Amino acid sequence: MPRLLIVNCSPDALLQRVAAEGGRKYDALFVESIGRHVPDGQTLEHFTLNVADGEGLPQGVQLGDFDGVWLSGSPFNVYRLDQPTVREQIELARAIWEAAVSTFGSCWGLQLMTAALGGTVHLNPRGREIGVARRIRPTKAGRGHALLRGKERTFDALCTHEVATLPPGATVLASNEISAVQAASISEGGRSFWGVQYHPEFDFAAVAAIISLRIERHLNEGLARSREEVAGIVADFRDLSCDPARKDLAWRYGVGSDVLDPMLRTAEFGNWLRAEVLG
């Protein structure tokens, strides 16, 4: 039975607040998302490591005992090395790489591995993408890479992120007008990392919860003009999560099947599972 290590990079206290706003913990979202792509007759075993709260692997368990690792999102900034958990998470990402365990990173996960392998992460001068990352386009390398198999030539994705400059040897697989790195892969010998700057594991309820926790931040960055406007977006996203068939809301926010259909939205996980974990 394949074993996955879920590295939860967000403090549980924050995830409790996300849950109170109608979202779910990131590990639960990932388990559901990748579970959609498990072949009939197979099961996955998974273990969650709450690294942001200082948790380590149990005695006798090694990174090499796992067939794959997922690095979750996080509220931290990779360039804030004054935060002890950031340094610890970078060291863990480097250890995972050295252990040659195939790894997938969502948002912070991509940034974390980037920093661990010599790249940089910085605030995006073009601003932040919150909610839906628009018009993501696979590069020439991306069109031939298994990560984006089944994705359209231009697609949208649920997101909340900054931007990364990749380490030497990495390949950019997708980009858009806001971020030059929306998806990437890094490989060396038997080591492999796939990462995306967006969140395939997110649903609209998750995005709504995060937006509701960052109202002032959105107002300060000019992403909304009033608290009432933010509240309206949150309510609409929650409604879309409950009923993806709401054509009025899909039209209002310009979203299609690439984010409304759970199989399409999580396709990157299925591609990684088949090619890197089960393959």
DSSP letters for the chain: --EEEEE--S-HHHHHHHHHTT---HHHHHHHHHHTTSPTT---EEEEE-GGGT--PPTT--GGG-SEEEE---SS-TT-TTSHHHHHHHHHHHHHHHTT--EEEETHHHHHHHHHTT-EEE--TT--EEEEEEEEEE-HHHHTSGGGTT--SSEEEEEEE-EEEPPTTEEEEEE-SS-S-SEEEEEETTEEEEEESS-TT--HHHHHHHHHHTHHHHHHTTS-S-HHHHHHHHHHHHHHHH-TT-HHHHHHHT--HHHHSHHHHTHHHHHHIIIII--
CATH number, domain containing residue 27: 3.40.50.880
218 is catalytic: no
Q: Is the pLDDT of residue 127 over 80?
A: no
Q: Which two tokens stand for residue 205?
A: 């309820």
Domain count, the chain: 1
Identify the pLDDT of residue 169: 86
In a domain, 217, yes or no: no
pLDDT given at position 60: 94
Give me the pLDDT at residue 161, please. Answer: 62
Q: Does a structural domain hold residue 270?
A: yes
- Per the CB < 8 A criterion, the answer to whether 68 and 2 are in contact is yes
- Could you tell me if residue 131 is inside a domain? yes
Out of 129, 162, 201, 276, pick the active-site residue: 201
Contact 120, 245 (CB under 8 A): no
Higher-confidence position of 218 and 245: 245
**Which is catalytic among the residues 9, 37, 46, 107?**
107
> Does any domain span residue 193?
yes
Task: Quote the pTM value.
Answer: 0.95
Does the residue 221 lie in any domain? no
The larger pLDDT score, comparing residue 177 to residue 279, is at 177
Residue 199 is among the residues annotated as catalytic for this protein: yes
In a domain, 132, yes or no: yes
Q: By residue range, what is the domain housing residue 99? A: 3-203+257-277
Over residues 173-183, mean pLDDT: 93
Residue 246, domain member (yes or no):
no
| Catalytic residue from among 37, 46, 199, 218 | 199
User: Which residue, chain included where needed, has tokens 């997922």?
Assistant: 70
Active-site residue, 107 included:
yes
**C-beta separation of 107 from 199 below 8 A:** yes
The alpha carbon of 240 is separated from its chain's Cα centroid by a whole number of angstroms, namely 20
User: Each residue of 254-278: pLDDT tens digit?
Assistant: 999 999 999 999 999 999 999 999 9
